[in-house]
Amino acid sequence: MGELVRKSGVFSLLSGLVLMLGAACASAVEFAGGTGTVVDPYQIATGSQLIAVGSDPSLYDKHFVLSNDVDLDPNKPSGKVFIRAVIAANLTPDGSQSHEFTGPIFAGSFDGSGHAIRNLTIRTGTGHYLGLFGKTGSNAVLCNLTLESVRVSISGSNVGGLVGYNRGCVVNCRISGTISGGIGEYCTWVGLLAGENSGRISDCVVNGSVEAGTGKSGWDITTAQPSVVAPRDRSAAKENSMRSAA
């Protein structure tokens, strides 16, 4: 009887721990509202909520909307200096010269709703697929978003203020800041808006500077192509209020 009681007590304790862990996991990301669907997207109101999205790949096919301006200033509690993309980061080990993207990509939607994300700071040695988003899928949509005072300092490829490699749709986004991409054969596809692009970019404005190496440039302004924008080769370039055209 005593043995049964002890076993029952252990079982109850384990059950309690499982429930506590489950509750903790369920509340790991507490958004300001929404359920993550197209008609009821998750609402992001703080830097902590934005960063939390990047730590949970199960959210990468969900839908999000900014409900407030977000400041990622490293000197503020909700900010930090990032060494990878905030969302859909490349998981290839730091310092690797491999250009292959490793990890889940972002395949949902992110609507800035006219709000701004300020002071995104990424600083690392060698890294690839850097930006607010590392890589987006063909169904991804990034729209109506302003990034102010972006600061990226790296030596690597596929680097953009908004997205390292865009395969989806980027519409009505404004980016300002500075990107320094280093020098060398592994420093290629560096742009203030996007690093590499095989999707659609339209109605976007960039204002800032990009310093890249000897590789191909990234995307700061589009041509009149309907779906794919063409890069401009350069070793260094400055852009001032350049508007893209669909």
Q: Is 50 exceeded by the pLDDT of residue 224?
A: no
62-73 pLDDT per residue, tens? 999 999 999 999
More confident residue, 56 or 96: 56
Low-confidence winner among 4-13, 39-48, 105-114, 116-125 (lowest mean pLDDT): 4-13
User: Which one of 3-7, 33-37, 241-245 scores highest in mean pLDDT?
Assistant: 33-37
What SS3 string covers the chain?
A: CHHHHHHHHHHHHHHHHHHHHHHHHHCCCCCCECCCCCCCCEEECCHHHHHHHHCCHHHCCCEEEECCCEECCCCCCCCCEECCCCECCCCCCCCCCCCCCCCCCECCEEECCCCEEECCEEEEEECCCECCEEEECCCCEEECCEEEEEEEEEECCCEECCEEEECCEEECCEEEEEEECCCCCCCCCEECCEEEECCEEECCEEEEEEECCCCCECECCCCCCCCCCCCCCCCEEEEEEEECCC
> Where along the chain do its domains lie?
1-30, 31-243
For residue 185, the model assigns a pLDDT of 55
The answer to whether residues 147 and 177 touch, using CB atoms and an 8 Å cutoff, is: yes
**Res 92: pLDDT:** 81
- pLDDT computed for residue 28 by the predictor: 65
Q: What value does the mean pLDDT take over residues 81-86?
A: 93
Q: What is the pLDDT of residues 155-190, one digit of tens each?
A: 778 888 999 999 999 999 999 998 876 555 556 788
pLDDT at 29: 77
Residue 225, pLDDT > 70, answer no
Which tens digits make up the pLDDT trace of 133-163?
Answer: 999 999 999 999 999 999 998 777 888 899 9
Residue 213: band (very low, low, confident or very high) from pLDDT cuts 50, 70, 90: low
